[in-house]
Each structure stands twice: as C-alpha cells, then as structure tokens.
Amino acid sequence: MVEGEVYDKVMDAREAVKRFIGDGQELASGNFLHAIPYALIHEIIRQKKRNLTFWLLSAIDEVDLLLAGGCVRRVVTSYTHRAFGLPTELDRALKEGRVEVEDYTNFTLLARFKAGAMGYPFMPVLNGVKWTDIYKVRSFLGKEKFGEVECPFTGEKVLVVPPVNPDVAI
C-alpha cells in the first residue's frame, strides 16, 4: 500500500475474528454495562478460540458466554454483574477452577489501559488501594499487579500499575 492510499477495512465478524483473534491472546472490551459486542462474542465462540485472557471494566453476559463456550481462561475486571440469587457461569467456572480472575478498581484498571495507550512504563494510582483486598489478593498477575516507586518530589512511596496493551480490542 502506498502512503496516503485509502483502502476498505470493513469486514464481517467472521473475517475479523479469523484474522485478528488467535488462541491464547489478550482481548479487551470497552463496554461498561452496555455496548456489549455480542456479534463478535458469538463469533469467537463459533470459531472455538481458546485460552483467551479477557480484559474489561464490567464483566456481564459476555464473560459468561465466553466461559460457557470454553474460550476464556483468565479474566481481568473491575466489576461483575450477577442477578440476585442466580449463579453465573463465572461463579461455576471459579468453583471448578476453569478460570482465573484478577480484580481491580475501575480507576486502577483504567490506569493500566491509559499507561499502555500513552506508552508509559507505569501509571500512579491512589496509595489507599494498598489497604484493600484489590491490592492484597492476587491471582495470576502476582507481583505484576501493582508496584511501588519513589516520588521524585517527596521521596514517598507511590503505588503504580503497569501498562496493558491487549492484542485485540473489540
């Protein structure tokens, strides 16, 4: 392609998933309680993509669908929705050991995305997170979930999160 040349990037869900989503990749979704990309979620299931790590702010139907389809092995989120009294596929998968979940606050997860988008090696977050289970309880990210750096102005320790740059965003 020649610089400045325009070409058509429009494609159907089948082709997009086939071309851009592979087994074992990190997948991100930008929804928050709405705008769930159901057509792409269903196509990922139809194509039997496996061992995905799914990054999203709010885990609602799409996580349950991908887990039921055997597509997701890890979930990184700040919120999961459950109807009162009804277990979800995420609940079952956690009990059966089929999925690992890493939990963040909305702000700390967004800070990871922002650091990745800006090319920063980390992003500072509120130190108060250190006194919560969000900080204390760690799953597959372990020591890579949070870090600390010294503030160049005060010398105090500042809590930071590393960047995330998923392979594909839907």
Query: DSSP for 28-39?
Result: EE--SSS---HH
Would you put residue 42 in left (φ > 0), alpha (ψ -120 to 50) or beta? alpha
The 10s digit of each residue's pLDDT in 54-73 is 999 888 789 999 999 999 99
The 10s digit of each residue's pLDDT in 102-111 is 999 999 999 9
Yes or no: domain 13-120+165-169 corresponds to CATH 3.10.20.740: no
Give the pLDDT of residue 6: 79
Task: Give the integer Cα–Cα distance in Å for 26 and 169.
Answer: 9
Give the pLDDT of residue 43: 98
Question: The whole model's pTM is what?
Answer: 0.89
Backbone angles phi, psi at 62, to 5 degrees: -60, -35
Domain boundaries defined on the chain: 13-120+165-169
Mean pLDDT calculated for residue range 122-146: 96
User: To which H or E segment does residue 55 belong?
Assistant: strand 52-56
User: Nearest 10 degrees: CA dihedral of 48, 54, 58, 61?
Assistant: 10
The 10s digit of each residue's pLDDT in 7-47 is 788 999 999 999 999 999 999 998 766 788 999 999 999 99
Give the pLDDT of residue 36: 86
Is 1 a residue whose pLDDT tops 70? no
More confident residue, 3 or 107: 107
